């Protein structure tokens, strides 16, 4: 039986093993899938142990997606463009193939939710591995993106990585004013920070909240996420957490490993029924 795992820190909250179990049941494929907790400085060692013990592929989550990119020696086109890897497949030749399914998974969920169209103007909060991974498919779809991040330098590095392409820019948190925000007229605001993991919200003024804007939190939880709760308190009407993205990106990983695409609609429905809001 093939063995897969999700690597991260923290990792306890990850629903990936449950989702992959449902995919395996749905498609009749036998696979093992486990969580692997990785101490912050031990990613390469842990990964190499996994390969030596016969691991066939992996998902990589917070905060190792940029490191994962470095350990691969071949890439899918979308991984190459984004510079971060969330899915790895060990090839028969033993080469390590890196893919990024976050962006395509998010885009699919945003389309399902009708939160996006090719002209959408997006404010992206956060500049970590997930933020970097979702930019290319969204820009390719036609959207424009402004990044805002706690550490400005990290947002600037992403702009540099994408070679100052059209439709992608960043602004400093301290320049963010009501006038500027009203001028920019965003349709969709995405929280791609990991602040929710510790129950926090990013340090962003509540002036970004309006009833006609869509709010999407990449994070997911068994109840409403701290960011979405805050959005709701200030009057947001159209909100979603990242559970749909999680399932869609997992399906693209499953497809890379097994060549079969699970039916995500059924699984998203199952998960959403268990949510409190």
Ligand X SMILES: NC(=O)c1ccc[n+]([C@@H]2O[C@H](COP(=O)([O-])OP(=O)(O)OC[C@H]3O[C@@H](n4cnc5c(N)ncnc54)[C@H](OP(=O)(O)O)[C@@H]3O)[C@@H](O)[C@H]2O)c1
Q: For binding to ligand X (CB under 6 A), which residues are involved? A: 62-63, 65, 102, 126-131, 149-151, 154, 192-197, 200, 202-203, 218-220, 242, 245-246, 249
- 12: exposed, middle or buried (C-beta count within 10 Å: 0-12, 13-18, 19+)? exposed
Tell the smallest beta-carbon distance from residue 54 to ligand X (Å).
Answer: 26
Q: How far apart are CA 89 and CA 269, in angstroms?
A: 28
Rounded to whole angstroms, the Cα distance separating 39 from 48 reads: 14
Cis before 63? omega within 30: yes
Least separation in angstroms between residue 19's CB and ligand X is 10
- Please identify the residue of the shown chain whose CB is closest to the bound ligand X: 128
Decide: helix, strand or coil at residue 94. Answer: coil
> Rounded distance, CA 61 to CA 74, Å?
19
User: Minimal distance in Å, beta carbon 231 to ligand X?
Assistant: 15
Contact 228, 195 (CB under 8 A): no
Cα–Cα separations (whole angstroms), residue 210 to 57, 186, 188, 240: 42, 10, 11, 15
Catalytic residue check, 65: yes
* DSSP per-residue letters across 153-218: HHHHHHHHHTTT-TTEEE--GGG--HHHHHHH--SEEEE--SGGGGT---S--GGG--TTSEEEES
Closer residue to ligand X, CB minimum distance, 55 or 242: 242
Minimum gap (Å) between residue 115 Cβ and ligand X:
14
Please state the three-class secondary structure of 63-83 as a single string: CCHHHHHHHCCEECHHHHHHC
Q: How far is the CB of 127 from ligand X (least distance, A)?
A: 4
Task: Please identify which of the residues 21, 65, 185, 269 carries the catalytic annotation.
Answer: 65
| Helices 102-113 and 129-141, axial angle in degrees (round to 10) | 60
Indicate which residues carry an active-site annotation. 65
């Amino acid at each position: 039986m093939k063995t897969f795992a999700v690597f991260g820190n923290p990792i306890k909250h990850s629903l990936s093993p449950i989702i992959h179990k449902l995919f395996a049941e749905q498609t009749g494929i036998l696979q093992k899938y486990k969580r692997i907790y990785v101490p912050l400085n031990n990613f390469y060692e842990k990964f190499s142990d996994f390969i030596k013990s016969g691991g066939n592929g992996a998902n990589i989550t917070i905060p190792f997606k940029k490191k994962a990119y470095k350990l691969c020696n071949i890439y899918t086109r979308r991984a190459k463009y984004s510079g971060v890897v969330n899915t790895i497949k060990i090839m028969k030749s033993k080469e390590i193939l890196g893919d990024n399914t976050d962006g395509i998974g998010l885009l699919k969920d945003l389309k399902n939710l009708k939160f996006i169209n090719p002209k959408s103007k997006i404010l992206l909060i956060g500049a970590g591995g997930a933020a970097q991974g979702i930019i290319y498919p969204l820009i390719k779809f036609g959207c424009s993106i402004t990044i805002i991040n706690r550490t400005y330098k990290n947002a600037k590095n992403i702009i540099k990585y994408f070679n100052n392409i059209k439709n992608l820019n960043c602004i400093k948190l301290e320049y963010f004013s009501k006038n500027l925000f009203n001028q920019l007229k965003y349709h969709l605001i995405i929280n791609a920070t990991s602040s929710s993991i510790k129950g926090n919200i990013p340090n962003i003024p509540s002036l970004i909240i309006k009833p006609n804007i869509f709010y999407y939190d990449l994070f997911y939880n068994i109840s409403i996420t701290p960011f979405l709760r805050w959005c709701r308190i200030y009057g947001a009407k159209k909100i979603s957490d990242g559970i749909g993205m999680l399932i869609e990106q997992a399906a693209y990983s499953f497809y890379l490993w097994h060549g079969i695409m699970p039916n995500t609609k059924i699984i998203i429905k199952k998960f959403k029924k268990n949510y409190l809001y």
